[in-house]
Each structure stands twice: as structure tokens, then as C-alpha cells.
Amino acid sequence: MTLAGAFASYYWASDKTKDVPKLPVFSAMGRALRYHTGSLAFGSLILSIVQIIRVLLEYLDHKLKGAQNKCTKFLLCCLKCCFWCLEKFVKFLNRNAYIMVAIHGRNFCASARDAFMLLMRNIIRVAVVDKVTDFLLFLGKLLVVGLVGVFAFFFFSGRVKAFENTAPHLHYYWVPILTAVIGSYLIAHGFFSVYAMCVDTLFLCFCEDLERNDGSAARPYCMSPSLGEVLLKDAAEEASVSSAQP
């Protein structure tokens, strides 16, 4: 919610150079701690209840492994599948609800409803943005982990003459290499999650900006000119295609 508040404060600023707070991250953190701890707790409670039910179902499934009743096994499998899907949906809804809380400052239930309805009205854009973002972030993580792994291999294996004197002599150099790869993945995942939150926040702001404003002098868009050149062009192309269809 802190990151969402910081990104939203930039997006909705009419003058990007003057209206943005000096410390947007700390300002958003202060608002979240002061006004929105209840929303954070409520969203976490809903997710925790679903996860507890999933744990109980896994426990029942483990206890009934030796049971010969096929009907019971079938029902348990159906329940486990349903609650797995429900957990994924709750995580998705919580994330977008927290973004709407950070944007408007409303309670969790109203923000979850607004986020869900806004996403449903832009379902095609949601699918495209999610897939493209996930793919690009995956490539970024893969690039970071690959570069670190290659560098660690040449460093610890002593195959680079420049590091022969500084590299330690190891019998099993795969252990530090795997440690470096795992550590680089965790660090890259943390950094790229910031970009993922930025994309989700700006996307919700963009969808709401399109519904609130029309780009005229009386109701100008709040998005930056560079963002508008990319997104508004795609929106205009989609509108022309939909209007051309019978």
C-alpha cells in the first residue's frame, strides 16, 4: 500500500514537478499507518481464513489417504481445487483493493468493489498487461540470475586469470555458486516486485483516468505526456476497431 500510494500521488498530480510530495514513500507510509491499518488487517484476515481452510483440507486428505471411499476423495479434491482458486482470487483482489485504498482512502470493502468493477470494465487490458508484465519481469529475473550465476562460476572455479589470486580455492565450488544464484534471485524478486506494484497501480489509475476525463481542456487527463503517447494511442486503436465491427 505504501508503494501504491507513492505511485498514485505521482500519477494524479496535475503538475508532475510541483504537486508531487517531497517524500512520497514516507508520506504514503504515514497515511497507511495512520488511516488504513484496519483495511490492511481486514484483507489479511480474509486471506488467512481461506488459507486455514486449505490447511484443514490438506490435513483431512492426509488422514483419509487409506480410505477406500471414492466419493470422499472426490469431494476433498474438489474442495481443495475450489479453495486454491479462491485463495488466488483473494490475493488478486486484495492487491488491487489495497491500491484503491491508497488512491482514494476509502474502506477495504468499497475499494475491493471499485477495483473489481473497474477491472471487469477493462478485462481485455487486464489480461494483456498482466501477461506482458509477468513475461518481462520473468525475463528480468532470469537475466539477473543468469549473469550472477555465470560470474560466480568463473570466479569460484578460478577460470579467470584476473581473479586467480583473490578467488578462494574450493573443492566444491558449486555450493557458493548455488548460494549466489539463490540469493540473487531473492534480491531480484524483491526489486522487481516494486516494478510490478508500479505497473498495477499506474494501470488502475490509467483506467480510472479514462473514465473520469476525456482529454479536453475542461477535463484533461492526469497521466504524464509520455505515458499518454503510448496508452492513449492503444486505446484509440481499440476504440476504432470496436466501432468498425458490425
Please write the tens of the pLDDT for every residue from 191-246: 999 999 999 999 999 989 888 887 777 788 888 777 777 766 655 555 554 444 44
Please write the tens of the pLDDT for every residue from 124-144: 888 888 889 999 999 999 999
Q: Are residues 205 and 194 in the same domain?
A: yes
What share of the chain in percent tops pLDDT 90? 42
Structural domain containing residue 131: 122-239
Q: Are residues 132 and 105 in the same domain?
A: no
Q: Name which residue leads in pLDDT, 172 or 85.
A: 85
pTM: 0.82
Residue 215 region by backbone torsions, left for phi larger than 0, else alpha for psi between -120 and 50, else beta: left
Q: Report CA 230 to chain centroid distance, whole Å.
A: 21
In contact, 97 and 115? CB cutoff 8 Å: yes
Q: Are residues 78 and 160 in the same domain?
A: no
Structural domains counted in the chain: 2
CA of 159: how far to CAs of 41, 124, 150, 207, in Å? 52, 50, 11, 53
Q: Are residues 185 and 222 in the same domain?
A: yes
pLDDT-derived band at 63 (thresholds 50, 70, 90) equals confident
Please write the tens of the pLDDT for every residue from 154-177: 887 777 676 666 667 777 778 888
